[in-house]
Amino acid sequence: MTTSNYATERETAEGKVFTVTGGDWDQVVSGTDPINDERIVVNMGPQHPSTHGVLRLILELEGETVREVRSVVGYLHTGIEKNLEYRNWVQGSTFVTRMDYLSPLFNETAYALAVEKLLGITDDITERATTIRVLMMELNRISSHLVWLATTGMELGAISIMLYGFREREYILDIFETITGLRMNHAYVRPGGVAQDVPDDAIVKIRKFLKMMPKKLKEYEDLLSGQPIWTERTKNVAVLDVTACVALGVTGPVLRSAGLAWDLRKTMPYCGYETYEFDVPTHTDGDVWGRYLVRLAEIRESLKLVEQAVDRLAKPGPVMVSDKKIAWPAQLAIGVDGMGNSLEHVAKIMGQSMESLIHHFKLVTEGFRVPPGQVYVGIESPRGELGVHAVSDGGTRPYRVHYREPSFVNLQALPAMAEGGLIADVIAGGASLDPVMGGCDR
């Protein structure tokens, strides 16, 4: 046993006895600088109520000033990318929709676009299917930004906006439920088109929503924009300029709040976004305030897009490619328990047409084959560039699918935003990145 300075030992009849003494306090104190050495390490998370999802931050503090931030991610890693390799191409959409749970329709659309590019059927996707995709994505963008507004408000102490944001989001989720059968995790956008057409009562709901939402946005602005606490907490906080954003790979509203109008819907259009009329809002300060303004303005732009898409839906048409080797034969219908096969279709394959049954069986159990190769598709999700790198080896299952998740990439910027600032601004800065950990960790 080693002897310690703090506990001298001596042998007695009862055994070894230690005498514990303290060091000389003066000696201990003289070695430190009480002003500059007072650094403490604070562990924030992984379950802190003020962090988005299960994010852990290790902060090194000097008083209230943050000297170093290290983020620890991975708590929500579910191995979705690996799981995809054991399911066929169509089943993939049910998995990817669960990645970033606040923007499921973007995950699905990006995946569908990648598979279609691999199949070489990008130009065969019907106009109506593309319009429905745009409609769903823009509604989803609004709902995602509303959650951002709600959670960020809550994190900065504005509890009312939290309630309002979630209230309006629920309205959009209700529209989703009418169209896809589910509030979240829709698996609605499939390779080749969408699962089924938009029902008429959904159009009525969307029209009502379009009328209601501008008033609500006005309410949010009345509540927050002029409020001194909100401006104090957001202006000049967590600043990140364009150079830093590009170097760190940050895209989306954060990049646009710094002044660069980089929006893939405009710069590298997909899904026919070049035929819609909308603007890309920017701001120049690159702070939390700017990101707040950009996101609110983006909701307005999305409303414009939704309106245009709904108008285009007046023209009927197919929502799936005509190739029966890719399009699922099931004419899906919404039942009380969600989306399922229509009774009409079941009656046909079970009672009338043996060929239809065989075809249905082959497509569902085996799936379609995708020619070997690799593609990368990037779309503008509410958080930035959502990229899908899909590789096929010619089989009925994906060989590899990688998601370039904006939440994952953007989170790297947190130390650059927060170091040197106050601990309270870590919350504001982190929230302004809008990370969704389900997407980040996949």
**Footprint of another protein (CB under 8 A):** 73-74, 77, 79, 81-83, 85-88, 117-118, 120, 246-251, 260, 262, 267-268, 365-367, 372-376, 378, 385, 387, 389, 391, 393-397, 399-400, 402, 404, 408-409, 411-412, 441-442
Spell out a b/e string for 194-212, using b for 16 or more CB atoms within 10 Å of the CB, else e. bbbbbeeebbebbeebeee
Residue closer to another protein by CB (options 171, 262) is 262
Q: Which of 248, 240, 295 is nearest to 425 (CA)?
A: 240
C-beta of 66: minimal distance to another protein in Å?
19
C-beta of 82: minimal distance to another protein in Å?
6
Residue with tokens 């609110």: 296
Residue closer to another protein by CB (options 236, 412) is 412
Residue closer to another protein by CB (options 109, 308) is 109
- Other CB atoms within a 10 A radius of the CB of residue 389 amount to 15
Residue closer to another protein by CB (options 116, 155) is 116
Residue closer to another protein by CB (options 227, 275) is 275
Residue closer to another protein by CB (options 262, 278) is 262
Residue closer to another protein by CB (options 18, 86) is 86
C-beta of 76: minimal distance to another protein in Å?
9
C-beta of 118: minimal distance to another protein in Å?
7
C-beta of 117: minimal distance to another protein in Å?
6
Residue partners of 315: CB distance under 8 A and separation at least 6: 128
Going by the DSSP 8-state scheme, the letter that residue 123 receives in this structure is G
Strand order in the sheet with 56-62: 39-44, 56-62, 65-72
User: What's the CA gap between 330 and 90, in Å, rounded?
Assistant: 13
Q: What phi and psi values does residue 431 have, to the nearest 5 degrees?
A: -65, -35
Specify the DSSP element, H or E, that contains 336. Answer: none
- Other CB atoms within a 10 A radius of the CB of residue 365 amount to 9
C-beta of 396: minimal distance to another protein in Å?
5
User: What's the CA gap between 403 and 393, in Å, rounded?
Assistant: 18
CB 223 within 8 A of CB 160: yes
User: What's the CA gap between 411 and 55, in Å, rounded?
Assistant: 10
The region that residue 356 occupies, defined by phi over 0 for left and psi between -120 and 50 for alpha, beta otherwise, is alpha
Residue closer to another protein by CB (options 44, 115) is 115
C-beta of 83: minimal distance to another protein in Å?
7
CA distances, 410 to each of 141, 166, 303 (Å): 18, 24, 26
C-beta of 426: minimal distance to another protein in Å?
18
